[in-house]
Chain A
């Protein structure tokens, strides 16, 4: 009879819905590959400079990129930085950006949203107006302004994006909590004298957190995108740092090759570009499948 326990059934149904979707499969596979690369980066591309492995080694200072060869399987970009090494260690950077930003944003967003939704009243009003304020300015513009205010650098980009990204979670978790707050089991817990904080952590957050997790997955991709774009503009890592956006920026002057062979330097841009796209795609594919699987409207069709 255990097999037909409604909770188990529900979980199985959710898993079925997720994996019925071939895109989710692709997403997980891609993510697995990237995780593998990130974890085994020192083995795949052994760093020359152990104290700072994120700096891409370069052989010479020639500005002209060199085509893929045995020594540099993806070729070298301008300044003779090895593209393969950059891709491998860039995976680590990308994960670092995505996970760091999302966790900070989740932490801020979920706690603020929970407080706003649970207490309501004037606290809710103040917090939501604050969120409205942050929502009024486009994500990228505000993040850029913050980076400019605090100075260039990859870390500052991460702080800046996190400082903007939390806004998305507040609204979602708050609306989830508003519907939960008046439900009987919360009332029952209150009557039993369970403390507010305990109710929030034990009963409310676990029930409201799923839609937030879905957004977190989808956001992870766009966070990496935004960071890559800011790096591309030159607000991020110093030259030679293993960061995909920065590598695209280095290649920017080589999109058009010498006359007669216009696509000569394709590898300088296509390879880091593909890495960014695949990485973001992996998160988005999973996020998309999760959203469909948890969407109550689409669920029972």
Chain B
């Protein structure tokens, strides 16, 4: 399998009043094409920061300090790897082109993730208007040359001119000028209609009934599950290569949660190639993921295929985590992990888990263990897991 995202030694810090919060401690992680990757860990362990670093949308006072994030872009469906790009070195303009287009993201809180005062339609079609202008212009030109087109002959040449221009160069200054002039502004109508058509299409695809009506409604008209579907629709609008789901189902009812997960699974075969699923729910991971990464206090402990991880956990933290999940035939008392999550302003030296680890050695206190392949793609960052 070929890699899609390759993270190397990523460090992200937050500069707060209490001190520098070392949120990510040299994370290295590979995500392959075509899989669902689960990232698990307690809240505050840096899962969200990791994915936000991938998209480079870490908000102030956070800052990506060092590391590399390679993105292997597909070349017209061919599997041969093109030159990977280091996202941390790219310009903001490149990143804008990438976000929502190649990599997109859905969020934990559907109620907060939608702008309350813009209509659903406006928010969904925004994605098309950002990334697919060129494509849409081509489509509109086609329509314009079709014989059954009913556009007035007077405006037709103007529209054709505008859209040819748009197809050539989406950033055309002339068109921006047009958009500011009252009557000429109307050239955008066709573009908006096209974006609307596409939005309704994508909303329908997410098994939402009455897509047209939804298009014109506002976030407060919809239920939580519905809103989450809309958030997914926004993310899927441009058929991204990677979809990042940041606790996308945590705040929903269990039934709706199941629906959304199923939806994501079908979509994975259909539109997107890979999913990066962030969750603290191990059940969800077992059910949907191909490969899992476990994080603790800003560092990655263990990465393995899902069955391998559940049957043969090797990092003490993973073991403890799995033991703390209630089982159907729970005979013993439920185990907990001793101690509490460390303050990341002054994290423990060496392995960040060592103060709570039953197998801790002197070495663990001094040097951070590197994450290493222990065979079969089972990667562990622990001295004790030989």
Q: Which residues of A contact B (CB under 8 A)?
A: 13, 16, 301
* B17: chain A residues within 8 A (beta carbon): 13, 16
Q: Which residues of B contact A (CB under 8 A)?
A: 17, 61
Q: Which residue of B lies closest to A13 (CB)?
A: B17
Q: Is the interface of A mostly helix, strand, loop or mixed?
A: helix
* A13: chain B residues within 8 A (beta carbon): 17
* A301: chain B residues within 8 A (beta carbon): 61
Number of A-B contacts (CB under 8 A): 3
Q: How far is the CA of A301 from the CA of B61 in the complex (A)?
A: 8
Q: Is the interface of B mostly helix, strand, loop or mixed?
A: loop
Q: How far is the CA of A16 from the CA of B19 in the complex (A)?
A: 13
Q: How far is the CA of A301 from the CA of B17 in the complex (A)?
A: 9
3 interchain pairs, CB-CB under 8 A: A13-B17, A16-B17, A301-B61
Q: Smallest Cβ distance from A230 to chain B, in angstroms?
A: 43
Q: Which residue of A lies closest to B60 (CB)?
A: A301
Q: Which residue of A lies closest to B18 (CB)?
A: A13
Q: Smallest Cβ distance from A12 to chain B, in angstroms?
A: 10
Q: How far is the CA of A16 from the CA of B16 in the complex (A)?
A: 13
Q: How far is the CA of A39 from the CA of B17 in the complex (A)?
A: 38
* B61: chain A residues within 8 A (beta carbon): 301
Q: How far is the CA of A1 from the CA of B75 in the complex (A)?
A: 60
* A16: chain B residues within 8 A (beta carbon): 17
Q: Smallest Cβ distance from B250 to chain A, in angstroms?
A: 22
Q: How far is the CA of A8 from the CA of B96 in the complex (A)?
A: 44
Q: How far is the CA of A13 from the CA of B17 in the complex (A)?
A: 8
Q: Smallest Cβ distance from A125 to chain B, in angstroms?
A: 29
Q: How far is the CA of A284 from the CA of B17 in the complex (A)?
A: 25
Q: How far is the CA of A182 from the CA of B17 in the complex (A)?
A: 33
Q: Smallest Cβ distance from A186 to chain B, in angstroms?
A: 29
Q: How far is the CA of A16 from the CA of B17 in the complex (A)?
A: 9
Q: Smallest Cβ distance from B20 to chain A, in angstroms?
A: 15
Q: How far is the CA of A128 from the CA of B149 in the complex (A)?
A: 63
Q: How far is the CA of A38 from the CA of B381 in the complex (A)?
A: 69
Q: How far is the CA of A119 from the CA of B61 in the complex (A)?
A: 44
Q: How far is the CA of A116 from the CA of B17 in the complex (A)?
A: 39
Q: How far is the CA of A13 from the CA of B61 in the complex (A)?
A: 18
Q: How far is the CA of A216 from the CA of B17 in the complex (A)?
A: 28
Q: How far is the CA of A93 from the CA of B17 in the complex (A)?
A: 41
Q: Smallest Cβ distance from B37 to chain A, in angstroms?
A: 32
Q: Which 3 A-B pairs have the closest CB atoms?
A: A16-B17, A13-B17, A301-B61
Q: How far is the CA of A16 from the CA of B61 in the complex (A)?
A: 18
Q: How far is the CA of A121 from the CA of B61 in the complex (A)?
A: 45
Q: Which residue of B lies closest to A301 (CB)?
A: B61
Q: Smallest Cβ distance from B331 to chain A, in angstroms?
A: 38
Q: Smallest Cβ distance from A3 to chain B, in angstroms?
A: 14
Q: Smallest Cβ distance from A15 to chain B, in angstroms?
A: 12
Q: How far is the CA of A162 from the CA of B17 in the complex (A)?
A: 40
Q: Which residue of A lies closest to B61 (CB)?
A: A301
Q: Which residue of B lies closest to A16 (CB)?
A: B17
Q: Smallest Cβ distance from B102 to chain A, in angstroms?
A: 31
